């Protein structure tokens, strides 16, 4: 049965409800229900039954789905144990001893944010709360601290080789590969998208440029002038959110925390992935390239994460930071912390199956082939993803909605699958950075103890600068077919935008603008 235009209704309903409710879970479920109802001949009761019987339950019952859910849980456990053992705070103390200037404090915050690439919430709360005393001492405004924290957390979670975000996106890619009857390693496909994630790279580059040159512009320049000249780290009337959550993360006394408590488990996690890929890919029976291509990516990361969790727990027990009973409580707490990810993943898999049966991707491919040049697809995916993420405040939900659409369109139009995925990922981060209702934006304000509206207001010009450069990068990459040319175009555009804004909206101009407004 061909549904044609009507096949767009379930994903469109999911997008619209996500925009209205600002909650992706009921939006995705209603999309699944509508699609199941359409497939049930328009009977909503039968559609509700089939939503579970044909889509939701089968989505979590397969071997691949179970693997993804298990290693999601293990990632949650790892993050919880790392919080409890306090390794991040020991690293921050070592950094603080070498900081002697505002530039150094900002650079240390950037470096610390890059180091914690494996979880965005942990990054936003830990980096903000740990570096805040250091940046305060160097008279760096809270707005600047929150910007650096926010603009490193999400990008690094997608540029690092392993993170909770990588796990989530791999689950979406792997399921879509099955729906499209395509072979390949979902992990290697993800890795190939990393160099093409132009917005993430440009956002990090912009932080580096701003920190090194101290060339602030817009409201941020005013905030930095205020902090340097008067020592006022917050604007008059600012109401920083309670950072109780960040404080509660300090699970170990300062004298008991050790840098190795974070570094060793992360090294185990990252270091075990290559040998496990070779092992699950039947190396040396297969040559190196074949083994990596045929490796079981999900199982490899699951085992690596399990080993990292075991090492982290063992180190905590050996140092008597907690006893065995508390260690098991940490395991349960960590698994519970991933509940939201479980729900979103399950519904994302389900709506992907629904749209596959409705022929949504086939219809979109037909439309795209008839009226849209393939070279424009990457920039369109970036822009649509940005809009969805901005209005919903969730990158996860954006990926869940957009990747099942982007991958079939890219495959049918013979364009780079990695570029299409990267465009969706970049759009999700860009919209998230601009959105005042984004969870990571709110947590960055909390961890940095910065007024939330002040954080959004000062970060927005910087996010828009990187986003504009990202649009140019994806447009050029699509038109030329060269990721290198696209990336270099984005970098050139970023430097041009920063130069112009610094000249037109530097400290003096931004101060006059703020006083007038």
Least-confidence region, from 260-264, 310-314, 381-385, 507-511: 507-511
Q: Which residues contact 245 (CB under 8 A, 6 or more apart)?
A: 125, 443, 446, 447
* Position with higher pLDDT, 90 vs 2: 90
Number of residues in the chain? 517
Give 18-53 pLDDT, tens digit per residue.
767 767 789 889 999 999 999 999 999 999 999 999
Residue 2 has pLDDT above 80, yes or no: no
Percent of residues, the chain, with pLDDT higher than 90: 38
Please give the pLDDT value at position 19: 65
Question: What was the pLDDT predicted at 343?
Answer: 86
Q: Tell me the three-class secondary structure of 38-104, residue by residue.
A: HHCCCCHHHHHHHHHHHHHHHHHHCHHHHHHHHHHHHHHHHHHHHHHHCHHHHHHHHHHCCCCCHHH
pLDDT at 271: 87
Coil/strand/helix, residue 253: coil
Distances (CA, A) of 163 to 118, 153, 167, 268, 410: 4, 11, 6, 14, 25
Better pLDDT: 122 or 45:
45
More confident residue, 333 or 368: 333
pLDDT of residue 293: 64
**Residues in CB range of 327: below 8 A, 6 or more apart:** 313, 316, 317
For the chain, give the mean pLDDT. 85
Tokens read off for 105: 């404090």
Q: Measuring CA to CA, which residue among 59, 78, 56 is closest to residue 68?
A: 59
Query: Where is pLDDT greater, at 126 or 242?
Result: 126
Is pLDDT of 517 > 50? Answer: no
Predicted confidence (pLDDT) at residue 516 exceeds the cutoff of 50: no
All structural domains of the chain with their residue ranges: 62-505
Cα–Cα distance for residue pair 415/215, rounded to 1 Å: 38
The predicted pLDDT at position 23 comes to: 72
Q: Is the pTM of this model over 0.95?
A: no
Q: Which residue has the tokens 């022929």?
A: 359
Name the packing angle between helices 102-115 and 87-96 (round to 10°). 160
Q: How far apart are CA 215 and CA 159, in angstroms?
A: 25
Q: Which range (71-75, 247-251, 298-302, 425-429) has the least confidence?
A: 247-251
Separation between Cα atoms, residue 480 and residue 141, nearest integer Å: 42
- Average pLDDT rounded to a whole number, residues 423-437: 90
What gap in Å lies between CA 159 and CA 475, rounded to an integer?
A: 21
Question: 513: pLDDT confidence band, cut at 50, 70 and 90?
Answer: very low
Region 62-88 average pLDDT: 83
Nearest to 358 by CA among 55, 26, 65, 24: 55
- % of residues, the chain, pLDDT over 70: 91
CA distance 106 to 135: 7
Mean pLDDT for 403-417 is 87
Instruction: Give the pLDDT score at 22.
Output: 64
Contact residues for 56 (Cβ-Cβ < 8 A; gap 6+): 32, 346, 347, 350
Q: In which band, very low, low, confident or very high, does the pLDDT at 246 lie, cut at 50, 70 and 90? A: very low
* Nearest alpha-carbon partner for 243 in 452, 19, 3: 452
Residue 200 has pLDDT above 70, yes or no: yes
Lowest mean pLDDT among 52-66, 69-83, 259-273, 500-514: 500-514
pLDDT confidence of residue 255: 64
Asked if the model's pLDDT at residue 247 lies above 70, the reply is: no
| Buried/exposed 40-66: b ≥16 CB within 10 Å, e otherwise | beeeeeebeebbeebbbeebeeeebbe
Tell me how far apart the alpha carbons of residues 344 and 358 are, in angstroms, rounded to a whole number. 21
Per-residue pLDDT tens digits for 248-297 = 444 566 666 788 998 899 889 888 888 988 898 888 888 776 776 677 77
CA distance 311 to 489: 44
Joined tokens for residue 416: 């780079």
Confidence of residue 355 (pLDDT cuts 50, 70, 90): confident
Q: Which of 276-285, 321-330, 433-442 has the highest mean pLDDT?
A: 321-330
pLDDT of residue 509: 47
Give the model confidence (pLDDT) of 206-242 as tens digits. Answer: 999 999 998 899 999 999 999 999 999 998 888 876 5
pLDDT, residue 123, reads 77
Provide mean pLDDT across the span 397-425.
89
141 sits in the region (left: phi over 0; alpha: psi -120 to 50; else beta) called beta
pLDDT of res. 245: 37
Residue of 47, 43, 77, 35 whose CA lies nearest to 310: 77
Contact by Cβ (8 Å): 263, 82: no
The token pair that represents 425 in the structure block = 């990922």
* pLDDT grade for 467, boundaries at 50, 70 and 90: very high
Q: Name the percent of the chain in helix, strand, coil, to the closest 5.
A: 80, 0, 20
Listed residue (348, 305, 398) closest to 76, CA to CA:
305
Please report, to the nearest 10 degrees, the dihedral formed by the alpha carbons of residues 220, 224, 230, 232 taken in order.
70
Alpha carbons 123 and 443: distance in angstroms, whole number? 9
**pLDDT at position 159, please?**
93
Look at residue 292 in the predicted model and tell me its pLDDT. 67
Residue 339: its pLDDT value, please?
Answer: 84
pLDDT at 77 over 50: yes
What contacts 278, CB < 8 A, 6 or more positions away? 288, 291, 292, 295
Mean pLDDT, range 381-392, rounded to an integer: 84
Residue 446 — pLDDT band, cuts 50, 70, 90? confident
**515 — pLDDT class (breaks 50, 70, 90):** very low
Whether the Cβ atoms of residue 89 and residue 130 lie closer than 8 Å to each other = yes
Burial class (CB in 10 A: 0-12, 13-18, 19+), 341: buried
pLDDT of residue 86 exceeding 60: yes
Q: Which pLDDT value is given to residue 465?
A: 96
């Amino acid at each position: 049965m061909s549904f044609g235009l009507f096949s767009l209704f379930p994903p469109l309903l999911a997008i619209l409800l996500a925009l209205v409710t600002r909650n992706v879970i009921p939006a995705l479920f209603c999309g699944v229900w509508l699609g199941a109802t359409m497939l049930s001949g328009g009977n909503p009761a039968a559609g509700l039954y089939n939503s579970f019987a044909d889509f939701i339950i089968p989505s979590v019952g397969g071997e691949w789905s179970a693997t993804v859910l298990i290693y999601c849980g293990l990632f949650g456990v790892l993050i919880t144990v790392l919080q409890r053992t306090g390794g991040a705070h020991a690293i921050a103390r070592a950094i603080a001893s070498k900081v002697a200037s505002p530039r150094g404090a900002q650079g240390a915050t950037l470096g610390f944010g890059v180091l914690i690439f494996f979880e965005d919430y942990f990054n936003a709360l830990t980096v903000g709360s740990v570096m805040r005393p250091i940046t305060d001492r160097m008279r760096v405004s809270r707005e600047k601290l929150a910007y650096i924290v926010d603009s490193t957390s999400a990008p690094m979670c997608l540029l690092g080789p392993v993170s909770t975000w990588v796990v989530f996106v791999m689950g979406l890619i792997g399921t879509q590969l099955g729906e499209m009857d395509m072979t390949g390693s979902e992990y290697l496909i993800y890795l190939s998208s990393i160099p093409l994630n132009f917005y993430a790279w440009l956002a990090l580059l912009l932080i580096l440029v701003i920190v090194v040159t101290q060339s602030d512009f817009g409201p941020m320049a005013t905030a930095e002038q205020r902090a340097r000249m008067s020592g006022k780290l917050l604007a008059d009337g600012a109401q920083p959110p309670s950072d109780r959550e960040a404080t509660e993360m300090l699970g170990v006394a300062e004298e008991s925390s050790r840098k190795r408590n974070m570094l060793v488990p992360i090294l185990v996690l990252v270091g075990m992935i290559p040998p496990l890929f070779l092992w699950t890919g039947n190396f040396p029976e297969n040559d190196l390239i074949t083994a990596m291509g045929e490796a079981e990516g999900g199982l490899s990361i699951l085992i690596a994460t399990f080993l990292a969790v075991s090492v982290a727990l063992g180190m905590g027990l050996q140092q008597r930071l907690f006893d065995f009973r508390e260690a098991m409580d940490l395991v349960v707490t960590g698994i519970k912390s991933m509940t939201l990810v479980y729900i979103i993943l399950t519904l994302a898999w389900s709506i992907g199956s629904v749209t596959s049966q409705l022929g949504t991707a086939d219809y979109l491919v037909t439309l795209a082939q008839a009226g849209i040049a393939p070279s424009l697809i990457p920039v369109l995916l970036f822009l649509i993803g940005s809009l969805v993420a901005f209005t919903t405040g969730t990158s996860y939900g954006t990926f869940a909605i957009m990747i099942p659409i982007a991958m079939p369109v890219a495959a049918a139009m013979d364009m780079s699958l990695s570029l299409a995925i990267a465009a969706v990922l970049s759009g999700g981060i860009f919209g998230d950075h601009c959105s005042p209702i984004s969870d990571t934006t709110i947590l960055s304000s909390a961890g940095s103890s910065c007024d939330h509206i002040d954080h959004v207001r000062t970060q927005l010009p910087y996010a828009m600068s990187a986003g504009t450069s990202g649009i140019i990068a994806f447009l050029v990459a699509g038109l030329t077919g060269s990721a290198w040319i696209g990336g270099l175009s984005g970098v050139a555009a970023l430097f041009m935008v920063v130069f112009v804004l610094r000249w037109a909206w530097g400290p003096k101009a931004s101060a006059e603008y703020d006083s007038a407004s």
